[in-house]
Structure 1
Amino acid sequence: MTAARTLLIALAATGLAGSLAGCATTVSGPVQVTRFHLGAPLERGTVTVEPLPGGGPASLEFSTYASAVEAELIQSGYTAAPADVRGQYLAVVGFTRTTLEGPPKPPPFSIGLGGGTYSGGRGGGVGIGGGVSIPIGKSKSRYVVATELSVQIRRRSDGTVIWEGRAQTQADDKAPEAQANVAAGKLAHALFLGFPGESGRSITVK
């Protein structure tokens, strides 16, 4: 192998690594929201945020979602009840987080060097000059985190559910939106956007 060809191979490998790094992007999806209520104007008052019954004791992760929901309730006209006071309303919060395996990342680019061409794909390579190649391996699977937040507002005096909603979203596991604190804020904001919202209608919040 000539010195010139060795240099071309090194340059191609370096360039390809840079291109792959530049194309490694993370994706987060919109939020799907559905809400239901009685149709009558909703009263406001003091509210206490609690975990879904049967879901076990409140955890640190629950506190992340509870804080996001409480902040949106306050923005919607409710008042957070003091720790030692029973609120007029209960906001019952539930959440789930599931990691799913998605399809391999599609190769979004093509490069050429020295008469050869690389087109991204499974088990592909970079062609240089007279058939010298550098294998780049197979595509790696990507993972997404699916997160769901549900909230019920109940009147404490008689237990009536006066409003409830559910919000769902997905994000690449390496995207900021896959982190619990970011996902909680994003879901709670979408869920209470335009509160109380149109009953029975599903909307998409980007």
Structure 2
Amino acid sequence: MMKQILLPAALALSLSACATAVPPVEVTRFHVGDPARSGTIAVEEMPDNPDAGLEFRTYAAAVEQELQRVGFTPPAAAGARSDYVALVGFRRSFRPTGYGDDGRPVSVGVGGGVGSGGFSGMGVGIGINLSGRPKDVVMTQLQVQIRRRADSATLWEGRAVSQAREGTPAAQPGLAAQKLASALIGGYPGESGRTITVK
């Protein structure tokens, strides 16, 4: 009876830990002195943004929300001139992973054993062989640059990068945009010139 309870519980805990894992975000920020912390700000697309299109709105909305959290406000009316502009750019790229040096898929295995007292030892092994091509890793990069509208001077800029397995929730644009924007702008303005990891 003891073995029947412990084994499913142990497997459930390990599987739930894998399901809820969120990849960390690497963040780098740069600024001179003490940049602006309030005022009206408009979010616009960065010139030559490589991934322009409908997906930009997802990232722009996430950045705008985080800027409001740290003290900025949107312009009073659409088209009104703002004090500052936040230029937003993002890039998504795919990297193959999971292959060994011989070019064949890597085999992943998990094993465990339970035994106590007068009960005989019991071993359990779970093997997963990735016979098809493993999922690619999606690398997402968000860039934000805050400029003063009057003279286009750059007051603050930063970059956030995350990686997630293709097809997982963390690789979806909505979740990725929110995670990257929160990691990059949270704690604004942050330490200049230092790269940190946000979990």
Asked if TM exceeds 0.5, the reply is: yes
Alignment root-mean-square deviation, CA: 2.8
Equivalent of 1:86 in 71, 81, 86: 81
Q: Is the 8 A contact 2:51 2:91 kept in 1?
A: no
Q: Secondary structure at the match of 1:186?
A: helix
Superposed displacement of residue 138, structure 1: 3.1
Moved more, 76-85 or 137-146: 137-146
Superposed displacement of residue 194, structure 1: 0.8
Superposed displacement of residue 139, structure 1: 6.3
1:115-134 matches, cutoff 5 A:
120=127
Equivalent of 2:90 in 91, 95, 98: 95
Equivalent of 1:173 in 127, 148, 166: 166
CA gap 1:105/1:150 in 2 versus in 1, 3 angstroms: farther
Equivalent of 2:175 in 169, 182, 185: 182
Give the Cα separation in 1 of the matches to 2:86 and 2:35: 17
CA gap 1:58/1:88 in 2 versus in 1, 3 angstroms: farther
- Ranges in structure 2 where 5+ consecutive residues have no aligned partner: 1-10, 99-105, 114-123
Equivalent of 2:64 in 60, 70, 83: 70
CA gap 1:105/1:146 in 2 versus in 1, 3 angstroms: farther
> Deviation per CA, 1:58-115, whole angstroms, max 9, x where unpaired?
522000000000000001111111322121101000001112111146222379xxxx
Q: Is the 8 A contact 2:146 2:154 kept in 1?
A: yes
CA gap 1:56/1:110 in 2 versus in 1, 3 angstroms: closer
- Ranges in structure 1 where 5+ consecutive residues have no aligned partner: 1-18, 112-116, 123-136
TM-score, reference length from structure 2: 0.74
Q: Match of 2:108? A: 106
Superposed displacement of residue 56, structure 1: 7.4
Q: Match of 1:44? A: 38
Q: Match of 2:194? A: 201
TM-score, reference length from structure 1: 0.72
Superposed displacement of residue 37, structure 1: 0.5
Give the Cα separation in 1 of the matches to 2:95 and 2:50: 24
Superposed displacement of residue 34, structure 1: 0.4
How many residue pairs were aligned? 168
2:153 maps to 1:153:
no
- Percent identity, please: 46
Structure showing greater Rg: 1
2:49 maps to 1:33:
no
Q: Match of 2:3? A: none
